[in-house]
Chains A and B, each alone.
Chain A
């Protein structure tokens, strides 16, 4: 259980970041924090793992204030994935990086070695690779793995998908989902509302150092007043259903107006259209042909460029 009781926090006393934040997160929840830049989301995360102590109020982990817990005790319970993996990677090989947490906790025994080997297998790492030569997505995965290997009961993620491509994002979040399924509490700061909608069950929205909404993810993401106040944009399918409900009285009471996912929306629209499944192959074929002839804006040329003619090679020192 993570509890914030009227927490106030700052980096400089003259500049308060959290201005009285209260919430409780039960064991095994998957909670997303969303909100304006500078709202205090990352600051709240740093309070959870004790990197920052509150100026006033209490942050409790399993009933114990973080101010009463040693950093090493907190680290065993709370794993923290920074927004930028380069802030936490520090070893010269992947294997050493995965062992680093155990060494820091004085627990690098045979059991730790076995867990590291299992994680290397699960994530598909090459153990002798230099972490700093991996691409951004692989470094993010390594940072996540180095936290996950310690099997913390709480996993805190600060913007885990920033800078990742579509596949990397799916891989990282798939692993996070697996960790959650094994019983961990997951708390995630995320600006990508599609990721929030896909993975979180509950959403806490912050604005100007305060909690402005807290509830089931789709209830929160359907609340226009909250979204506007916290500079959020709903996930696209939710947005489509809200727009359709507002613009079309006929659809307002139907499942179309309540759909949260692509699958729900397809089913709802097909039911409304009353002709689901008819002529799919034929229509799809026509669409492919139509798309092939699209015109670019001024000068942007179609891809598949000619192979390189090395007519002008310039080796730059």
Chain B
């Protein structure tokens, strides 16, 4: 669904490339988490998938980024947008209306979704995000987390083939963050949607993502199953990526000779390791 080949990009004002020599393939229905320290190139990589780079941020673009067979550099941004649904880091920058219902309707109407489908898609998207009660609220009156849910609902309603979300849960409470990730993982499986989430919350990525991509200084440092990536805990910390406490705990127990085996990604896995160790 997404094929990135030897992709590099230097912003026009940038002294050095933001992304260098990145190659990655993401299939239908796959949920991929992208993480890394600030300035590691993860947002630029996301921008290349949804066409914002180079269409909105000019610069030197090398290699190719294809989404559903479409070259995002060659295609018009409107065509890319029909395939890729995006949620920006700063959700305020993507709102175009002032009321929650209008915001979701805006995309549905502009994508010429048949009139008979609009109400059901609107209702479903708001319900999925747990904000059905906010339907008639002014966006300006919402909290940061509620606004973030509106932005995600607006994109989910469009049912794109690819979802690219840049820190979609940054302002959400912990349970809402969990439910958004749960929803995205289910959405990927049920609809065959390729979901790419740029995120600092590595505990959530480790629990839900099929694969974890860790960026360092514009390059991919690790791209593998979460458990395999998290086994490099010391290296991750060195490059500015924290590990979930479950992972740190099991790695410390392993270092102390209390247990052995693979790194734990989740609370559940860590509990199983501890139970085995004390059995």
Chain B interface category by residue count? 35 or more
Which residues of B have CB within 8 Å of A166?
A: 37, 200, 237, 240-242
Q: Interface stretch among B96-104, B114-122, B209-217?
A: B209-217
The docked-state distance in angstroms from the alpha carbon of A266 to that of B257 is 11
- Contact indicator B275/A247 (Cβ below 8 Å): yes
B167 CB, min distance to chain A CBs, angstroms: 6
Report the count of interface residues on A (CB-CB < 8 A): 88
The docked-state distance in angstroms from the alpha carbon of A313 to that of B6 is 11
B20 CB, min distance to chain A CBs, angstroms: 6
Residue of A12, A193, A262, A316 most packed against chain B (CB within 10 A): A316
B-facing residues in A183-234 (Cβ within 8 Å): 191, 193-194, 230-233
Which residues of A have CB within 8 Å of B27?
A: 297-299
- Contact indicator B260/A283 (Cβ below 8 Å): yes
Q: Interface stretch among B79-87, B105-113, B157-165, B243-251?
A: B243-251
Which residues of A have CB within 8 Å of B241?
A: 165-166
Which residues of B have CB within 8 Å of A136?
A: 38
- Contact indicator A262/B219 (Cβ below 8 Å): no
A66 proximal to B (CB < 8 A): no
Q: Which residue of B lies closest to A309 (CB)?
A: B6
B-facing residues in A145-178 (Cβ within 8 Å): 159, 162-169
- Contact indicator A162/B170 (Cβ below 8 Å): yes
- Contact indicator A297/B23 (Cβ below 8 Å): no
Per a CB cutoff under 8 Å, which of B6, B224, B254 touches A300? B224
- Contact indicator B270/A240 (Cβ below 8 Å): yes
- Contact indicator B262/A291 (Cβ below 8 Å): yes
A169 CB, min distance to chain B CBs, angstroms: 8
- Contact indicator A308/B223 (Cβ below 8 Å): no
With A37-B171, A162-B170 as contacts: A297 and B32 at CB distance below 8 Å: yes
- Contact indicator A302/B267 (Cβ below 8 Å): no
Q: Interface stretch among A97-105, A115-123, A272-280?
A: A272-280
A301 proximal to B (CB < 8 A): yes
- Contact indicator B245/A165 (Cβ below 8 Å): no
The docked-state distance in angstroms from the alpha carbon of A162 to that of B38 is 12
Which residues of B have CB within 8 Å of A313?
A: 60-62
Q: Which residue of B lies closest to A317 (CB)?
A: B58
Which residues of A have CB within 8 Å of B174?
A: 191, 193, 231-233
Per a CB cutoff under 8 Å, which of A36, A163, A279, A294 touches B89? A163
Per a CB cutoff under 8 Å, which of A240, A262, A284, A304 touches B274? A240
The 0/1 profile, CB within 8 Å of A marked 1, for residues 137-150 of chain B is 00001111110010
- Contact indicator A266/B227 (Cβ below 8 Å): no
A237 proximal to B (CB < 8 A): yes
Which residues of B have CB within 8 Å of A302?
A: 222-224
- Contact indicator B6/A290 (Cβ below 8 Å): no
A-facing residues in B223-279 (Cβ within 8 Å): 223-225, 227-229, 231-232, 237, 240-242, 244-246, 248-249, 251-263, 267-268, 270-271, 274-275, 277-278
B226 CB, min distance to chain A CBs, angstroms: 9
24 contacts between A and B (CB under 8 A): A37-B173, A83-B171, A135-B38, A162-B170, A233-B174, A236-B245, A236-B246, A236-B267, A237-B245, A237-B249, A240-B249, A262-B245, A266-B249, A266-B256, A269-B258, A287-B262, A288-B231, A291-B227, A293-B228, A296-B211, A297-B31, A298-B210, A299-B30, A303-B219
| Interchain residue pairs A-B with the least CB separation, the first 8 | A294-B228, A37-B145, A291-B231, A297-B210, A231-B175, A166-B242, A299-B25, A300-B211
Given contacts A231-B175, A232-B175, A239-B267, could you give 5 more A-B pairs where the C-beta distance is less than 8 Å?
Answer: A39-B173, A231-B174, A248-B275, A273-B277, A301-B24
